[in-house]
Structure 1
Amino acid sequence: MNVAIEDLHVGYAGRDVVSGVRLIAAAGETAGLVGPNGSGKSTVLRTVYRHLRPTAGRVLLAGTDLRTLTPHQTARRVAALPQERGSDFELTVHEVVAMGRTPYQRAFAGADRADREAVAGALAAVGLAGHGGRRFAALSGGERQRALLARAFAQDPDVLVLDEPTNHLDVRHQVELLALLRARRRTTLISLHDLNAAASLCDRLHVLHAGRVVASGPPREVLTPRLLAEVFGVRAAVTDHPLTGEVLIAYDHREVLPAADG
């Protein structure tokens, strides 16, 4: 399922935080949103999983305006892993992952065979098979992220929306999480601070600055030294990764450049 965001405006306290954003994620594509803090990445993603209502513009899922869908219909199409965490800490891992099946269950009905199989498959996919009885609160940071990703997988959505899923993870767990996303291909919108991770994972990048998209395209075309200087205020060389051949950004940590004004 493809996602298209058209002329999106979102405001807080009478001012636009996001202005005229247009971006796409083709069916089966991983589209990354990158940009400095406060550039509007999370705000855009929150409109896709309906945490925020835009003041203008629209979000289309396979050509259907998101506003015409009920919350129940949206939940069957879109699964989100937001930065904000819910009150899952008193639950077991199995109970957390099983929450992803809620859009498919009738009121007051228990889990059926399809639900149980979906939860078991999601736990296996993230390497947590056999850990369903553990308390979610007892998991490490990396395990919690995997459990929450399993919840999204169990939801069996057409579209995944992930807001900084590698935050607070060590290098191994970051690599592990990104590998899981590569292996489970589906239409994905993801925001990442780590530009090298974004370049490695994403088919397409959308660079936001001051609430607007200032560049879009494949990572190799978008992540140029000039853009890194103007948007992120860093001096960097863009080269090939010696192990993978993908885009690699080498930063000059001795010099900070003035970022472009919003």
Structure 2
Amino acid sequence: MRIDIEDLHIGYAGRTVVAGAHLVAVEGEITGLVGPNGSGKSSLLRAVYRHLQPTAGRVLLGGTDLSELPPLQSARHVAALPQERGSDFELTVREVVAMGRTPYKRAFAGEDATDRDIVAKVLSDVGMDGCAGRRFTALSGGERQRVLLARAFAQDPDVLVLDEPTNHLDVRHQVELLALLRAQCRTTLVSLHDLNAAASVCDRLHVLHAGAVVASGTPRDVLTPELMADVFGVRAAVVDHPLTGDPLIAFDHRAPADAEAAMAVESRG
């Protein structure tokens, strides 16, 4: 199911954080949002999973304005893994994941065989099937991340919205999670700080800077040395990854592209 974001404006606390954003997440593809801290990525994603109300513009889900759909119906289509993640669940891992089945249940309805099969599968997919009986609060940050991703998968959505899903994960689990996203073949809108991960996993990228989309296209088209300097304030070379052939960004960690530009980027973050 395709996502179209049209002339989106978002503001709160007297400040505009997204200004006139236009972007598309094509059905079945992974669409990435990248940009410096404070560029509007999380706010834009919150509008897609209806945590924030835009001040102008609209989000279209399969051609239908998302704001016109009842919350229960939109929850059957869009699942989110936000940055602000609950840590106070006094529930088992299995119970947390089973919450993803809520949009399909009537009030007070119990689990059925389909629910149990889906919960078991998604726990296995994220490598947490051996922890189903553990308390969520007893898990590490990375384990919680994988459980909450399993909950989003259990929702069986058409669209996944993921805000920094690789946070708290070690390298192996980052690679496994990104491979799992590729295997899902769902419309996925994801924000990533790791530009090399974005170049590897995303079909298309949108670059946000100061609340505006400043570049869109394939990772190879978008992630150029010039953009690294202009948007992120760093010196970088873009080469071919020796194992995959994907664009690989090699950063100069000794000095920014321009000291004043780098300070400006940092102050906006």
TM-score normalised per structure 1: 0.96
In the other structure, the counterpart of 1:243 is 243
Cα contact 2:92–2:132 (8 A) shared by 1: yes
Structure 2 gap ranges (5+):
none
Structure 2 Cα separation of the partners of residues 130 and 238 of structure 1: 41
Give the aligned partner of residue 89 of structure 2: 89
CA positional deviation for 1:13: 2.1
C-alpha distance after superposition, 1:99-124 (max 9, x if no partner):
00000000011111221111111112
Deviations 1:169-203 (A, max 9, x none): 22222112212212222000000000000000100
CA–CA distance in structure 2, aligned partners of residues 88 and 150 of structure 1? 17
Work out whether residues 239 and 247 of structure 1, in 8 Å CA contact, stay in contact via their aligned partners in 2: yes
8 Å CA contact retained: 2:145, 2:168: no
- Alpha-carbon deviation of 1:132? 1.1
TM-score by length of 2: 0.94
Q: Give the total of aligned pairs.
A: 262
> Bigger shift: 140-149 or 96-105?
140-149
Equivalent-residue separation in structure 1 for 2:232 and 2:20 (angstroms): 21
For 1:1-262, list aligned pairs within 5 A: 1-256=1-256, 257=258, 258-259=261-262
Separation in structure 2 between the aligned mates of residue 174 and residue 132 of structure 1, nearest angstrom: 21
Q: How big is the shift at 1:222? A: 0.1
Q: Is the 8 A contact 1:88 1:96 kept in 2?
A: no
Task: Quote the Cα distance in structure 2 between the aligned partners of 1:7 and 1:124.
Answer: 40
Distance, in Å, in 2 between the alignment partners of 1:146 and 1:170 is 12
CA drift of 1:205 comes to 0.3
Q: Does the CA contact (< 8 Å) of 2:33 and 2:41 recur in 1?
A: yes
Distance (whole Å) between structure 2 residues aligned to residue 146 and residue 11 of structure 1: 31
Q: Helix, strand or coil: the match of 2:130?
A: coil
Contact 2:87 2:137 in 1 (8 A): no
Once the 2 structures are TM-superposed, how far is the Cα of residue 88 of structure 1 from its aligned partner?
4.6
Residues 14 and 140 of structure 1: is their aligned pair in 2 closer, same or farther, counting only changes over 3 Å? closer
* The 10-residue stretch of structure 1 (107-116 or 60-69) with the greater mean CA deviation from structure 2: 107-116
Q: Select the structure that is richer in helix.
A: 2
Alignment partners' CA distance in 2, 1:154 and 1:205: 26
Conserved 8 A contact 1:49-1:78: yes
Opposite residue 189 of structure 1, the aligned amino acid is: L
Q: Do 2:78 and 2:159's aligned partners in 1 also have CA atoms closer than 8 Å?
A: yes
C-alpha distance in 2 between matches for 1:223 and 1:253: 17
CA distance, structure 1, for counterparts of residue 144 and residue 176 of structure 2: 13
Map Cα deviations across residues 125-152 of structure 1 (whole Å, 9 max, x no partner).
Answer: 2122232111112223322211111101
Aligned-pair identity in percent equals 77
Offset of residue 166 of structure 1? 1.1
